[in-house]
Chain A
Amino acid sequence: MGFWQKDPTPRRNAQMSAPIRPRLRVATGAAVACLALLGLAACGDDAESDTTTGGTTGSQDSSPDGGQPTDEAAPEAEPIRVTIEGDSIDPAGERVEVAAGEPVLVEVTADRAGELHVHSTPEQEIAFTEGTTEHELVIDQPGVVEVESHDPDLVVLQLEVR
């Protein structure tokens, strides 16, 4: 069968008996380096996700004084504000961190009634009326969830659910 045909390129003499030692050395060295690096990164990461499951914020840093700029992730504090006027929607694709399983307040100020589609799993909708509407959103599954308007077709928010 043509498919399995040998590669038709010119070649030097292939030697089967190359020493095995350098290869082993490379393999072990590489494996150790990889494992060490990945292990280090993974450990730090795990601790982080452990604190997230219990805590209220999805902050990267679990320092007690909490001076990091992750306040927007705290659900009670500040609602996520969306302004819809004609064809312009603000924000336009901003990334916001939210905590998985925690309520998040979305405040939509619009010049018309409509809805935003929240592409979480399962999908959700934020229906709004003319004026200001507050909607409480709870997303259980971690991931990046897009909040879209379909009129006009825009990604309004990317919620980083942790």
Chain B
Amino acid sequence: MDRELLAHGLGGAKDLPISPELAMAGAVAALVVSFSVLALAWREPRFDDRPGRPAPAALDRAVGSRWFAVAVRVVGMAFFGWFLLAAVLGENLVINPALGMFYVLLWVGIVPLSLLVGPAYKALSPVRTLHAGLARLTGSDPSRGLRDYPERLGYWPAAVGLYAFVWLELVHPDSTQLGTVRLWVAVYVALMLLGGALYGDRFFERADPFEVYSSLVARLSVWGREDGRLVVRSPLANLATTPVGPGLVGVVAVLFGSTGFDSFRESPPWLRFVQSSDVDAALLGNLALLAFCVGVGLVFTAATAATGVGDDVRRSALPGLFAHSMVPIIVGYIAAHYLSYLVEYGQVTLVQMSDPLSRGDDLLGTADLEVNRWLSYHPTTLANIKVLGVVLGHVLGVVAAHDRAVRLLPRRHQLTGQLPLLLAMVGFTAGGLYLLFAA
């Protein structure tokens, strides 16, 4: 790999578009499954308040122990420290691992990790560790701030933070310049520490974009806690425990909308339009990213609110109460969108991490690893996995929404009330598949 300055997005070749037949098959499968669920599935909620099975006591003790928490924090800080070493002292070259650590291992890797082991970022979070360290230095309690976190803010700070990340990654013209990434991370750490000091630990649960993302995806894992005990639950039962709060719809809209935009911006028609337009490319990118996120949020809000409701539920509360059902759709689409990127650029990043200062070092012993590009050389298999991921995510999303609908909606509205959301979900999935085909 040469040492040219970075002027291009990370990674080389991108995935081939999926074939139109496969996209159609996926969309039809999504449609068929959706209406099967609506027509045939259960009429009583199954996932709410469903107790999990206790995990083995030894496991519960181990992961609940102090040494485990400290060990995980050390891993998180080591990763963060290594990133800082490369980002601050390293050179602004394509072989600097800081970019891959930030855009691939952190941003994309957080999804499979949280899916496997639960809320991983919460345990690893370097800002939580720094916050706890500061609290210890000043002899105060890290869980308490100067005042209580204003609950009406909810997840909105995280939605804004996630938007700031996708804006950096997808729109900022210098997203792969080291200085830009350094500045972004510096602002992130500063704001998190400030918020932590002001509002205590609760701030990270609601405002740290990475933690909110990770903990949301972790609701699709099998791990949960009931009265402090570690339990194993079905992912759908786990998903139903997602805490609702203001801004949750904003979070899912940013996550889904931005991933859609990432596919869209590579499509030839958009590329030609941007390059032939007199308007600044960054401005067009900004507008399109915003349109995707706001569009997803509006469609979802309208689709969830367009139903008859009983006396016990306010209509305006419905979008938040259904927001968890978007999580599987997001995860499925993210898997499709990022799978080869994570596997292959993730390996490249591991190789580069041995040489954070671009001096030809082999500090971690990974410098000579061969990158396995099997996925890229098997585009048909890759395309099948991608469509399977999207359809599976859609199925789980529809089932989660159905279960919530039969709990919340009065009986006479249960079928018709679900229709708008069902159609919106089919639209999201078909749109996602279309983008995988067209981009």
Taking Cβ atoms with an 8 Å cutoff, the residues of A that contact B are: 1-12, 14-16, 18-19, 22-23, 25-26, 29-30, 33-34, 37-38, 40-42, 44-46, 48-49, 60, 92-95, 117, 119-123, 139, 141-146, 148, 150, 153-155, 158, 160-162
Give Cα A10 to B49, complex, Å.
Answer: 12
Contact B45 A12 (CB under 8 A): yes
Give the contacting residue for B13; candidates A5, A25, A41, A120; CB below 8 A.
Answer: A120
Give Cα A148 to B391, complex, Å.
Answer: 34
Within 8 A of A (CB), among B5-57: 7-8, 11-17, 19, 21-22, 24-26, 28-29, 32-33, 36-37, 40-46, 48-50
Give Cα A9 to B309, complex, Å.
Answer: 15
Contact B122 A3 (CB under 8 A): yes
Contact A144 B25 (CB under 8 A): no
Contact A38 B29 (CB under 8 A): yes
Residues of A within 8 A of B49 (CB): 11, 14
Give the contacting residue for A143; candidates B15, B25, B41, B225; CB below 8 A.
Answer: B15
Total A-B Cβ pairs within 8 A: 190
Contact B32 A92 (CB under 8 A): no
Give the contacting residue for B272; candidates A29, A37, A93; CB below 8 A.
Answer: A93
Give Cα A9 to B241, complex, Å.
Answer: 10
Contact B271 A93 (CB under 8 A): yes
B129 within 8 A of A: no
* Interface size class, chain B: 35 or more
B312 within 8 A of A: yes
Contact A121 B36 (CB under 8 A): no
* 20 additional A-B residue pairs with CB within 8 Å, beyond A4-B225, A41-B26, A162-B16: A3-B215, A7-B48, A7-B240, A8-B243, A15-B45, A26-B40, A34-B391, A44-B19, A46-B380, A92-B275, A93-B275, A95-B268, A119-B12, A120-B13, A142-B376, A143-B16, A144-B14, A153-B7, A160-B16, A160-B17
Give Cα A83 to B230, complex, Å.
Answer: 64
B221 within 8 A of A: no
Give the contacting residue for A1; candidates B13, B16, B225; CB below 8 A.
Answer: B225
Contact A6 B241 (CB under 8 A): yes
Give the contacting residue for A22; candidates B40, B48, B225, B243; CB below 8 A.
Answer: B40
User: Could you give 25 example pairs across A and B, Cβ below 8 Å?
Assistant: A1-B228, A3-B119, A3-B243, A4-B224, A4-B225, A7-B241, A9-B244, A11-B49, A14-B44, A16-B50, A18-B46, A22-B42, A33-B29, A38-B22, A38-B25, A38-B391, A42-B384, A45-B19, A60-B19, A95-B268, A123-B1, A139-B13, A141-B373, A144-B15, A145-B13
